[in-house]
Amino acid sequence: MTDKRAQMATKAAWAMPVAAVLLVVGLLVGMGSGTVQVAPTEIVEALTTGRVHEMYTILYDIRLPRVVVGALAGINLALAGAILQGVLRNPLADPGLLGVTAGAGLAGMVIMILFPAQMMWVPPAAFIGAMAATFMVYGIAWRHGVSPLRLVLAGVALAAFFGGFMTLLTFFYSERVQGTVSWMAGGFSGRSWDYVLLILPYTALGLTATMFATKSLTLLSFGDDVARSLGVRVERTRILLLTLAALLAASAVSVAGMLGFVGLIVPHIARLIVGGDFARSVPLAALLGAVLILFADTFARTAFSPIEVPVGVLMSFIGAPFFLYLLRKEVG
């Protein structure tokens, strides 16, 4: 056991710097790729000199806010997934699979379609929708405990239920739906500094709160009885952490739309590298979430140029096989 802990500590020591380097590379690749190719040295020169010219405008006004929003959304989704998997002791837990993203998406879509002049209310509405979906799934799946299969089935059913309401909105308000098409597919096209300011406080709050909660998450992952015997107020802690996960997922939905599978894939990769201690896996998951979105968005934006594929479509192609693998492994 001691050797295994030492091995995980060693992996954690190199995993974080490597992930940080990948994050920087992802930012540079995201800013440099596109119709106009920009070398890393040119990016640094354009942003540090501050001279207003064509290259500076492309980087500062178009590409930089997009990659920053993508990185922050990736962090939030990865943290939400890590929290849900720890609290529910379910490796299949994910904001998208449990209907949390759909709940946030429906609430946000109601604001965007029915009250387009009140866009500032999208984040709080998405949070309310995410919270409602979280507790609905948990309540439906509860029967003397929550099994992974019941939780997933309840989440899939609820996501389909919310999806039906979204379809109704697009049917009855077809003249207003154009602005929500890319949002429903999940993507970062046209994201500006306003979106950065929108999500940044949620990322800062969520990351700080999650880091303070890593000990509780680790204890909860051992089971309620163990956590309770070690002084954790299980039910109150679980509700607080579910609220935090819903807040993180809702903030990501507000700026990225219906972007799935990030919260499923990334926490698994982090745990495979550094083990089940959330004090190590949570910060690594946050970095890897940003890295995954940055590279996925850059690929989706440039691979089929001049056509831009929504990154949510690409994540579905990556995440669905991964989910089927986990489902077969955990349930089968």
Given a cut of 60, is residue 306 above it in pLDDT? yes
Task: Give 45-87 pLDDT, tens digit per residue.
Answer: 777 776 656 777 888 888 999 999 999 999 999 999 999 888 8
Number of Cβ within 10 Å of residue 313's Cβ equals 12
Give residue 178's pLDDT: 65
Virtual CA dihedral for 212, 87, 262, 243, nearest 10 degrees? -70
Spell out where 28-110 has E strands: none
- The identity of residue 73, as a single letter, is A
Give residue 258's pLDDT: 83
Q: Angle between the 193-212 and 64-87 helix axes, to the nearest 10 degrees?
A: 30
- The identity of residue 62, as a single letter, is I
Residue 47 near residue 63 (C-beta atoms within 8 A): no
Give residue 303's pLDDT: 84
Question: At the top level of CATH, which class does the domain 2-330 belong to?
Answer: mainly alpha
Q: Label residue 141 by pLDDT band (50, 70, 90).
A: confident
Task: Give 148-162 pLDDT, tens digit per residue.
Answer: 677 778 888 998 899
Given a cut of 80, is residue 294 above it in pLDDT? yes
Domain boundaries, the chain: 2-330
Angle at 250 between CA 88 and CA 311, to 5 degrees: 100
* Higher per-residue pLDDT: 11 or 262: 262
Virtual CA dihedral for 114, 155, 288, 63, nearest 10 degrees? -20
The encoded tokens of residue 79 equal 């943290």
Give residue 172's pLDDT: 84
Residue 84 near residue 263 (C-beta atoms within 8 A): yes
Give residue 92's pLDDT: 76
Name the average pLDDT for the chain: 84
Residue 91 near residue 330 (C-beta atoms within 8 A): yes
Q: Label residue 326 by pLDDT band (50, 70, 90).
A: confident
Of 23-27, 48-52, 134-138, give the range with the top mean pLDDT.
23-27
The encoded tokens of residue 220 equal 């909860």
Strand, helix or coil at 115? coil
Task: Give 175-185 pLDDT, tens digit per residue.
Answer: 777 667 667 77
Virtual CA dihedral for 10, 12, 16, 18, nearest 10 degrees? 50
Give residue 179's pLDDT: 62
Decide: pTM greater than 0.85.
yes
Q: How far apart are CA 132 and CA 148, in angstroms?
A: 20
Virtual CA dihedral for 177, 183, 185, 189, nearest 10 degrees? 120
